[in-house]
A and B are shown apart, each in its own frame.
Chain A
Amino acid sequence: MAQIRIENVRKDFGAFNAVKSSTFTIEDGEFFMLLGPSGCGKTTTLRMMAGLDLPTSGEIYIDGEEVGQKPASQRDIAFVFQMFALYPHMNVAKNISYPLRSQGMPRAQVRKKVAEIAEILGITDILNRPVGGLSGGDRQRVALGRAIVRDPKAFFMDEPLGALDAEFREHMSHELRALHDRMGATTVYVTHDQLEAMQMGDKIVVMNHGVVEQFGVPQDIYDWPATKFVAQFIGSPSMNFLDFNGSVEQGAQTVDLGDVRMAVPRQLDGGSGALTLGVRPEHVHLNDAAPYRGEVVATEYLGTTQIVTLKTRYGQVQARIPSNVAVREGARTGLEFDARTLTLFNANTGAALRSDANRKVLHHG
């Protein structure tokens, strides 16, 4: 088991820059999520850690050893591919034992180890089956078996649940997390599914256009996004943005949207010009007495809650409120934001302005 450290890693494919100078550290035993939309460089980053692609520049440390330019076979890691990549010409047992046979482990020991792994994953009864006829879940378990059989320093998984149907994904994600907790191995997991990332991960890196946007524990990232991109990418529906021109003083605890004054966490830097006020839907409350007004344009019933979409002066706002509150389309009402949860962004750079509330989270930069 090992700590993994990425320093200033960059990857170019010809003229295309896939990853720009990424730096972050994955602690020993962490379940670490690389999250981002497709084409953001998350898979490339993972492949560089695994040694399937070599970084153009920068260093990768696994267990303190610089491995950036080493081939995958010398890194002692395991990789679970999205389409599993089980060897189709071998049966289940052979697939699982393949990494052991490359090390020249004696046959009896291999058999014992495979049986042990099959027991853990509950696939003892299919060991002699060819992999061709297996169900998605069993393939996934075999792929996991092949990964854990060798006790590698780290597990890398590239959207391992992507090929499964929705119902089974849920089940498999619990199984994966349980397996990780049992083995305590450092795991790096690539996904584009923000729910999966928050549900399973100890820590998340959010990437976009080859850049690390934010790095931290799921709750920090959800509550205190470092950029507008993160705020939008994480959470469903995503954070509401109110774009306005104005200024906030250093140390200010309010901000003026036109003639409406709103309370915000104490600002550390301040700023002026094009700004954006970000508020999560669950922190929007409908209160007829509130000065900031909006008109209800749509409601969406979600069981215990409902999503109410309102048209306001500075942009559309979605509120998540209990579904027993009666809301009529076309009604005008006041909106109240939970002051402690608001984030101000520089609308041009997309970066969050530092405040008392998010300064602990944002120091990662």
Chain B
Amino acid sequence: MSFSVTEPSVRTKWFAGLLVIGYALITLIPLVWIIATGFKSPSDSISYPPVVLFEPTLEGYVNLFTDRTRATDQMLEEAGPATTWYEQIARDRGTVISGPSRYGERFLNSVIIGFGSTALCMILGTMAAYAFSRFKVPLKDDLLFFILSTRMMPPIAVAIPIFLMFRNLGLNDTHLGMILLYTAVNLSLSVWLLKGFIDEIPIEYEEAALIDGYTRFQAFYKVVLPQAATGIASTAIFCLIFAWNEYAFAVLLTSGNAQTAPPFIPTIIGVAGKDWPAVAAGATIFLVPVMVFTILLRKHLLRGITFGAVRK
């Protein structure tokens, strides 16, 4: 049989394929389980042995988005027959819906803080990276190392000082506070990543724009930014994933006003302590934005990961 460096043999391909499928299954099982649990009834969700095939119900989602009280006969009488499908689901469990839950609010907080900090991080990061890449910044190497060094400990190590600082500044439990915090944590990563991307853009493009009669700032946003789009997109994904998933600071620094979804989801489980479908439904919905964002930008992400591996 002939041997080729570039074309793997059929057997190798099969082996590689099986390996990838196996890995995908292992990583996807928890995800599938969470999504499935969201559609189970509470008893199915905790049955042992676990059920794989079950009758799907939206009870978990109804419970996630509503507050309910146990209904007395009198209350049922006053309320009359159920008018909507979700009310019907609640009635079937002997409860009436007393109002919307706070999940929507928390989810919106996550969106505001996650995307807000990502946007701020991109704006500041791109400009800082551009400056480090193009200008003679005094003590450039020291500054870059200093920026990187903020990554050398887990952010939570400085939780207490940050907590005290935020209390004094009145930033506790505010959207602004959380946006600033996540931006500060992510900025080092984004400056370093983006500097790499901008370094790769030949300076002649900007010089050409300068000659063509544009100011430096115009050259930056009309010529450099479009070409750095790939880098900005992949950096944005990394920043968003961190800010979106962050749990420890969110628990510590938010409670009412600016609480994000991660610390809220575990509290859904409620007093009875067995509403796993609602928790799973909350987690499923929480996954959606990052998934969509990542799928939209996945081409850039792949390029971002392999970036600079091969010199053009």
Give the B-binding residues of A (Cβ under 8 A): 50-52, 71-73, 77-79, 81, 83, 85, 87-89, 98-99, 102-103, 146, 150
Q: Which residues of A contact B210 (CB under 8 A)?
A: 51-52, 71-73
The complex places the Cα of A103 from the Cα of B212 at a distance, in Å, of 9
What is the 8 Å Cβ interface bit string for chain B, positions 200-240, against chain A (1 contact, 0 not)? 00101101111111110010000100110000000000000
Instruction: List residues of chain B with CB within 8 A of the CB of A98.
Output: 209, 212
State the Cβ distance, A72 to closest chain B Cβ, in Å: 4
Residues of B within 8 A of A102 (CB): 212-214, 218
Contacts of A85 in B (CB 8 A): 202, 204-205, 207-208
Instruction: Kindly list chain B residues whose C-beta atoms are within 8 Å of the C-beta of A89.
Output: 226-227
Tell whether, in the assembled complex, residue A50 and residue B211 are in contact, meaning their CB atoms are under 8 Å apart: yes
Q: Which residues of B contact A77 (CB under 8 A)?
A: 211
Q: Which residue of B lies closest to A89 (CB)?
A: B226
Most buried by B among A71, A73, A88, A98: A73
**CB neighbours of B223 from chain A (8 A):** 87
Given A83-B202, A85-B202, A72:B227 Cβ within 8 A: no
User: Roughly how many angstroms separate A50 CA and B204 CA in the complex, as a whole number?
Assistant: 13
Contact of B207 among A81, A88, A103, A150 (CB under 8 A): A81
CB atoms of A72 and B211 under 8 A apart: yes
Q: Which of B207, B212, B227 contacts A146 (CB 8 A)?
A: B212
Given A87-B208, A98-B212, list of 15 further CB < 8 A pairs? A51-B210, A51-B211, A73-B210, A73-B215, A78-B211, A79-B208, A83-B202, A83-B204, A85-B204, A87-B223, A88-B205, A89-B227, A103-B213, A146-B208, A150-B213
Query: Quick check: B211 and A79 within 8 Å, CB to CB?
Result: yes
B208 touches A81 (CB 8 A): yes
Minimum CB–CB distance for B205 against chain A, Å: 5
B196 to chain A, nearest CB (A): 18
Contact with A along B169-210 (1 / 0, CB 8 A): 000000000000000000000000000000000101101111
User: What distance in Å separates the Cβ of A103 from its nearest Cβ neighbour in chain B?
Assistant: 6
Q: A52–B207 Cα gap in the complex (Å)? A: 7
Interface centre among B202, B207, B211, B223 (most CB of A within 10 A): B211
A-B complex: 8 closest residue pairs judged by Cβ atoms? A85-B204, A102-B213, A99-B212, A85-B208, A89-B226, A72-B210, A79-B211, A81-B204
CA distance A162 to B66 in the complex (A): 70
Q: Which residue of A lies closest to B210 (CB)?
A: A72
A184 CB to closest chain B CB, in angstroms? 21
How far does the alpha carbon of A88 sit from the alpha carbon of B211 in the complex, in Å? Answer: 17
Q: Is the CB of A88 within 8 A of B227?
A: yes
Asked if B213 contacts A79 (CB within 8 A), the reply is: no
Cβ of B156 to closest chain A Cβ, rounded Å? 41
Q: How far does the Cβ of A111 sit from chain B's closest Cβ, in whole Å?
A: 18
Q: Considering only CB atoms, which chain B residue lies closest to A88 in the complex?
A: B227
> From B201, which residue of chain A is reached at the shortest CB distance?
A88
Q: Which one, B202, B205, B214, B226, contacts A73 given CB within 8 A?
A: B214
Contact of A79 among B207, B215, B227 (CB under 8 A): B207
Within the assembled complex, what's the spacing in Å between the Cα atoms of A83 and B204? Answer: 8
Taking CB atoms, residues of chain B closer than 8 Å to A103 are 213
Please name all residues of chain B whose beta carbon is closer than 8 Å to the beta carbon of A87 when the two chains form the complex: 205, 208-209, 223
User: Can you give 11 A-B contacts (C-beta < 8 A)?
Assistant: A51-B210, A72-B211, A77-B211, A81-B207, A83-B202, A85-B202, A85-B207, A88-B227, A99-B212, A102-B212, A103-B213
Complex Cα distance, B229 from A88, in Å, reads: 12
Residue from A71, A77, A98 with most neighbouring chain B CB atoms (10 Å): A98
Tell whether, in the assembled complex, residue B211 and residue A73 are in contact, meaning their CB atoms are under 8 Å apart. Answer: yes
Q: Specify which chain A residues have a CB less than 8 angstroms from the CB of B209 in the assembled complex.
A: 87, 98
Provide the bound-state CA to CA distance between A304 and B208, in Å: 45
Point out the residues of chain A lying under 8 angstroms from B212, CB to CB: 73, 98-99, 102, 146, 150
B residues near A83, Cβ cutoff 8 Å: 202, 204
Measured CA separation A72–B204 after assembly (Å): 13
Residues of A within 8 A of B227 (CB): 88-89
Q: How far is the CA of A89 from the CA of B209 in the complex (A)?
A: 13
Which one of B213, B218, B226 lies within 8 Å of A99 (CB-CB)?
Answer: B213
- CA gap between A150 and B214 in the complex, in Å: 14
In the bound complex, residues from chain B placing their C-beta under 8 Å from that of A99 are 211-213
Min CB gap B211→A, angstroms: 4
Interchain CB contact under 8 A, A72 and B205: no
Q: Contacts of B205 on A, CB cut-off 8 Å?
A: 85, 87-88
How many angstroms between the C-alpha atoms of A85 and B209 in the bound complex?
Answer: 9
Cα separation A198 to B51 with both chains bound (whole Å): 87
Residue of B nearest to A75 (CB): B211
Whole-angstrom distance between the Cβ of A162 and the nearest chain B Cβ: 13
